[in-house]
A and B are shown apart, each in its own frame.
Chain A
Amino acid sequence: MVLKKKTGQAPSKGAKRADGRTADELRPFEAKVGVINRADGSAMFKSGKTIALAAVYGPRELHPKFLQNPEKAVLRCNYNMMTFSGSGERVKPGPSRRSREISMIIEKALTPVLNLELYPNAVIDVYVELLQTDAGTRCAGVTAAAMALADAGIPMKDLVSSVSVGLVNGQIVADLTKEEEDMEGTVDVPTAVLPRTGEFTLLQLDGHMTPEQLQEALELSTKVSQHIYAAQKKALKERYHHA
């Protein structure tokens, strides 16, 4: 890894970011469970201006049959940005190279907490829809999908809490906005953490960062994902406490 060429002035540690947050501060976030009536499980996660909806269907029989796996269930994730969800032009509907990639990484981020061997020949469908986007969509998607899976009553070893961390202006920060992401020299590191064990199930990195910076970023992710976990837990329990 190469040391990032610093652009502009490097702010001192603890300096405020463009939107007034500190380095380890998340955007205001909100979690809600049971937002889609006909789904077996559903959830919403909102982080700043990013809103992700997740719906889970199944386990149910998988058709066509040749896609079935007699050893375990198939986890099928589908990530989609709504046409009106972007900040500028209309997002072209339908699958794209980007949405296929993100569907796959959501699937890989969730698989370690599921025991798919319980449902041979079945499928668990996870649909992640983005209503509004401002960076961090895959993280919001994973966070919502984890709650939706729990809400669907599918056995899970843990929840999954996801947050993006990164290098902005030479500073390691949490939960980047689109504005920060688009700055020269920014490195975005989406991560997903199992809150109980601290294991990572998602880690992507494009760009240049020193190993020390990455270490720092991962530590920050472990720390701030606990806030997201708390919100997930609360949202899941709230569904039953009022009654």
Chain B
Amino acid sequence: MGNLFVKEKDIVVPGEELAEGMDYLPVSGAFRDGEKIVSTHIGIVAVEGRLVKVIPLRGKYAPKKGDVVIGKVADMTFSNWFIDIDCANSAVLSIKDATEFVERGADLSQFYSFGDMIATRITNVTRGAIDLTMRGPGLRKLGAGRIIRVCSSKVPRLIGREGSMISLIKEKTGCRIVVGQNGVVWIQGEPQNEMAAVEAVEFVNKNSHHEGLTDTVSKFLDDRMKGIAVPKDSFKDDDSFYREPHHEGGYEGRGYRDDRRDRGGFRPPRRDFRDNRGNGGDSRGPPSMYERREMRDTRMRRGFRGGYDSR
């Protein structure tokens, strides 16, 4: 017979036994060792019928397909940007997945440059390699504003059911806010309003395991916003991604060129790409491995910024 050693909402540490017997199943934050179910995280216990899990209170973001995250451009090559999304590995945004058409050999820093923050969606995760896309509602380069970080396991609380918590904070402070699943939050507004929004987000981060949080935050902001004007028509972001169910395989990959054209929306005019290759119209075919290496080396010598054909 199964025995449960802990109660719902108990705080447990790694190695703590949660349950005994085959009647219970470990979901996440726990594992089975013989008869016992043992926690692997410091976190809060959640029991749903036979399922036992531990919701971590701490920890780095674990990338998941379909998540919208906020990342920082850390590096770029000929065809990719490397984005730091605050997890164990950096993510790759290919030029094919940028919003605009990026010509081959173009200087990628014209689109997203070092240090830019972007809201982007994870399309694939395979053993530490993370692919990103900029195609989707609300995905864009984020302009001037504040970046703060909360624990990624508390993001669902910060967004709230159907985005209720985040829209509350947006409405009361009149700020534009984007929350990445990785716990990075971008806030833009009038300086005083920004400060209030930052405090509200930090409030949620600190008190995420309390009941009735939306009401507390509402009261907190009513107090905090006294004497601060809220812009009436504060820009409404397209943040429908908060309400969408998680894209389990919703993004079908890049597909072929032809089916991409059929999807409508803006597409750059088709070009005969052979004439527009970055190496000066020379149509010898794609550069070989050695040529690419040399091109890269030239770029490195010039300090990354200048496009290699900018002379």
Q: Which residues of A contact B (CB under 8 A)?
A: 40-41, 58-61, 70, 73, 113, 115, 119-122, 150-159, 194-196, 232-233, 236-237, 240-241, 243
CB distance from B151 to the nearest CB of A (A): 8
Using Cβ atoms and an 8 Å threshold, which residues of chain A touch B210?
A: 243
- Determine, out of B55-63, B64-72, B231-239, the stretch whose residues face the partner at the interface: B55-63
CB distance from A160 to the nearest CB of B (A): 9
B13 adjacent to A152 (CB under 8 Å) = no
| A40 interface neighbour in B13, B14, B60, B206, Cβ under 8 Å | B60
Contact string, B169-185, partner A, CB cutoff 8 A, digits 1/0? Answer: 00000000000000000
- A142–B233 Cα distance when bound, in Å, is 56
Q: A58-B88, A122-B88, A122-B89 are in contact. Are A155 and B207 (CB under 8 A)?
A: no
Using Cβ atoms and an 8 Å threshold, which residues of chain B touch A60?
A: 88
CB distance from A32 to the nearest CB of B (A): 14
CB distance from A236 to the nearest CB of B (A): 5
- A122–B31 Cα distance when bound, in Å, is 23
A153-B153, A155-B41 given; 18 more Cβ-contact pairs under 8 Å: A40-B60, A41-B58, A59-B60, A59-B88, A70-B128, A73-B88, A119-B128, A150-B41, A152-B59, A153-B56, A153-B57, A156-B40, A157-B15, A157-B31, A158-B38, A196-B38, A233-B16, A243-B206
A152 adjacent to B88 (CB under 8 Å) = no
Which residue on chain B has the smallest CB distance to residue A158?
B15
A153 adjacent to B42 (CB under 8 Å) = yes
A155 adjacent to B58 (CB under 8 Å) = no
Which residue on chain A has the smallest CB distance to residue B31?
A157
B42 adjacent to A236 (CB under 8 Å) = yes
Closest 9 CB pairs of A and B: A153-B59, A158-B15, A153-B58, A156-B14, A59-B88, A122-B88, A155-B40, A120-B128, A119-B88
Using Cβ atoms and an 8 Å threshold, which residues of chain A touch B29?
A: 155
Q: Which of B31, B33, B60, B153 has the most CB of A within 10 A?
A: B60
- A14–B11 Cα distance when bound, in Å, is 39
CB distance from A58 to the nearest CB of B (A): 7
Using Cβ atoms and an 8 Å threshold, which residues of chain B touch A119?
A: 88-89, 128
Using Cβ atoms and an 8 Å threshold, which residues of chain A touch B41?
A: 150, 153, 155-156
- A233–B39 Cα distance when bound, in Å, is 13
B15 adjacent to A159 (CB under 8 Å) = yes
Using Cβ atoms and an 8 Å threshold, which residues of chain B touch A70?
A: 128
A152 adjacent to B11 (CB under 8 Å) = no
B57 adjacent to A240 (CB under 8 Å) = yes
Which residue on chain A has the smallest CB distance to residue B43?
A153
Using Cβ atoms and an 8 Å threshold, which residues of chain B touch A58?
A: 60, 88
Residue B17 is within 8 A (CB to CB) of chain A in the complex? yes
- A208–B128 Cα distance when bound, in Å, is 48
| A61 interface neighbour in B42, B57, B90, B209, Cβ under 8 Å | B90
- A158–B11 Cα distance when bound, in Å, is 15
Q: A40-B60, A120-B128, A240-B209 are in contact. Are A151 and B14 (CB under 8 A)?
A: no
Interface set, chain B 90-114, CB cutoff 8 A to A: 90
B59 adjacent to A154 (CB under 8 Å) = yes
Using Cβ atoms and an 8 Å threshold, which residues of chain B touch A59?
A: 60, 87-88
Using Cβ atoms and an 8 Å threshold, which residues of chain A touch B209?
A: 240, 243
| A159 interface neighbour in B13, B57, B60, B128, Cβ under 8 Å | B13
- A151–B11 Cα distance when bound, in Å, is 13
Residue B284 is within 8 A (CB to CB) of chain A in the complex? no
Which residue on chain B has the smallest CB distance to residue A159?
B15
A157 adjacent to B89 (CB under 8 Å) = no
B14 adjacent to A120 (CB under 8 Å) = no
Residue B257 is within 8 A (CB to CB) of chain A in the complex? no
CB distance from A207 to the nearest CB of B (A): 32
Residue B271 is within 8 A (CB to CB) of chain A in the complex? no
B15 adjacent to A195 (CB under 8 Å) = yes
B14 adjacent to A155 (CB under 8 Å) = yes
| B11 interface neighbour in A73, A155, A159, A240, Cβ under 8 Å | A240
Q: Which of A113, A151, A152, A236 has the most CB of B within 10 A?
A: A236
A156 adjacent to B15 (CB under 8 Å) = yes
| B14 interface neighbour in A73, A122, A150, A243, Cβ under 8 Å | A150
Q: A61-B89, A61-B90, A153-B58 are in contact. Are A236 and B40 (CB under 8 A)?
A: no
Residue B226 is within 8 A (CB to CB) of chain A in the complex? no
Residue B301 is within 8 A (CB to CB) of chain A in the complex? no
Interface set, chain B 68-83, CB cutoff 8 A to A: none
- A241–B88 Cα distance when bound, in Å, is 29
B88 adjacent to A153 (CB under 8 Å) = no
CB distance from A177 to the nearest CB of B (A): 29
B13 adjacent to A153 (CB under 8 Å) = no
Q: A196-B17, A236-B13, A243-B209 are in contact. Are A153 and B60 (CB under 8 A)?
A: yes
Using Cβ atoms and an 8 Å threshold, which residues of chain A touch B87?
A: 59
